[in-house]
Amino acid sequence: MVATLMRRGLSSVTSILILTSLVFAVAELTPGGPAQTILGLHTTAEAVKALNHALGLDQPIYIQYLTWWGHLLQGNLGYSLIQHQSVVAVIGQYLGNTAVLDSVSLLLAILLSLGIGIVQGANANTWISKVISVGQFFLYAMPIFWLGIVLIYIFSVTLNWLPSGGAQDLAESNFDLVTYVRHLILPTVTLTLIFTSFFSRYMGTSARLEFQQAYVTVAVAKGAAPVRIALLHVMRNAARPLVTMVGLFLPWIFAGGVVVEEVFNFPGLGYLLWQSAIQHDYPVLIVIVMIIGLLTIIGNLLADIINSMLDVRVRYE
């Protein structure tokens, strides 16, 4: 296991290097630049040149890249060119919200998918399974932003039960957990429904196959309760593909979060990623991409480890 982890760690570093290099290269090739964004239409070529020089953006791309890595190794993630704060400060204001939103949504989606998938698998070829399939396809086909807008219309605008956006009530000076949770509900429900529609289909198919296995027949013959069979035996085996999917799906979770954050005006990393890309805020953009890359790598690694725990036939040296 240790050797596996070390090999994976080495390949992860290589992946991160390639990823950040690509982002730097693409950012350089994209027309425009942060200086023009900062100075606007009223500026002159001389001013753009001066600001590029002040920001070190007139250096060759490889110098800028090496300088960035040099700072990173010293723990300095740099300064946002547009927000005029340290990258750590900028990302810090958004990362927590995204972490909460995505992790709560993912956890709920996994729990729901496990349950729905087991029910669907246990009732294969019945009307229950068909109804669940219809629901899954309906949600799967629905654009995330549209679902979000519908939920806002129902629960905020019409019923006035929940706030339509933001992260907390702005009139309050201090953080209030209840208010924060109320603001979190609709974006979380939106993401959870979409993720569940995706994951539960895999879980349902996998569970259906597992319920057809011989060990299930034996367990039934031995008189084991159906719930016990489903939860203790089938779920463990059926969940393996789901675990793999979740690990691979992490970047997509982030992408879905971008749309939800925009619809609900929720201050998250996805929105910051989009803004920093448009505004050519390279320092922030690179770090966010690195975070996504790391999450993907960690997600895959965790999926492999969990799979090895779920299936004794899978072991890493």
Partner 1 sequence: MKRLFPAPRGVKRQDPMPRATQSRGRLFISTGALRWLLVVAALLTGTTMTAGARSAAGPQMGGTLIYAPPVPSAVDSFIPVMSTASILDDEVEVLLYRPLLWIGQHVTIEMDRSIADTISVSANNTVFTVGMRHTYAWSDGQPVTADDVAYDFNLIKTYGPKYAYYGIGGLPTLVKSFKVLSPHSFAITLTKSVNPDWFKLNGLAQLRPLPAHAWKKYSISYLFNHQTDLNVLSVVDGPYKLTKFVTGQYARFDRNPTYGGHKSYLDTYIMQFYTSEQAEFAALKTGAAQIGDLPFALYNSASQLSALKTYDVNNFQFHWIVLNYRNPATSFFREVKVRQAMQLAIDQPLMNNLLYHGHANSAYSPVPFVPDTYVSPHAKATQNASHFDLARANAMLDADGWKMVNGVRQKNGQKLSWTLQLLGSQTDVKQGAILQQDFAKIGVDLKLQNIPISTLFAEFGHKGTEWDGISIFWIYYPNFDPIGAGIFDTTGGANFGSFSDPRMDALINKAQVTPGLEGVYAYQDYASQVVPCLYLDQPTIIAKYQPNVHGITDFFNPVYAYSPEYLWLSH
In the complex, which residues of this chain contact partner 1 (CB under 8 A)? 30-33, 36-51, 54, 79, 82-86, 90, 93-94, 149, 152-153, 156-157, 160, 163-167, 170-171, 173, 261-265, 267, 271-272, 275, 278, 280
The answer to whether 117 and 200 are in contact (CB under 8 A) is yes
- Nearest distance, CB of residue 104 and partner 1, angstroms: 20
- Nearest distance, CB of residue 279 and partner 1, angstroms: 8
Residue 60 DSSP one-character state: -
Residue 311 DSSP one-character state: -
Helix axes 87-122, 177-211, angle to 10 degrees: 40
In this complex, which beta carbon is closest to partner 1, that of residue 148 or of residue 241? 148
In this complex, which beta carbon is closest to partner 1, that of residue 167 or of residue 289? 167
In this complex, which beta carbon is closest to partner 1, that of residue 118 or of residue 272? 272
In this complex, which beta carbon is closest to partner 1, that of residue 85 or of residue 129? 85
Helix, strand, coil shares of the chain, percent, nearest 5, are 75, 0, 25
The answer to whether 39 and 48 are in contact (CB under 8 A) is yes
In this complex, which beta carbon is closest to partner 1, that of residue 122 or of residue 263? 263
In this complex, which beta carbon is closest to partner 1, that of residue 229 or of residue 272? 272
- Nearest distance, CB of residue 50 and partner 1, angstroms: 4
| Nearest one of 145, 109, 96 to 259, comparing CA atoms | 145
Block residue for tokens 């060119």: 81
- Nearest distance, CB of residue 80 and partner 1, angstroms: 9
What are the distances in angstroms from CA 199 to CA 50, 136, 164, 243, 248?
A: 52, 9, 27, 9, 12
- Nearest distance, CB of residue 195 and partner 1, angstroms: 21
- Nearest distance, CB of residue 49 and partner 1, angstroms: 8
Residue 126 DSSP one-character state: S
CA dihedral 19, 21, 27, 29 (to 10 degrees): -120
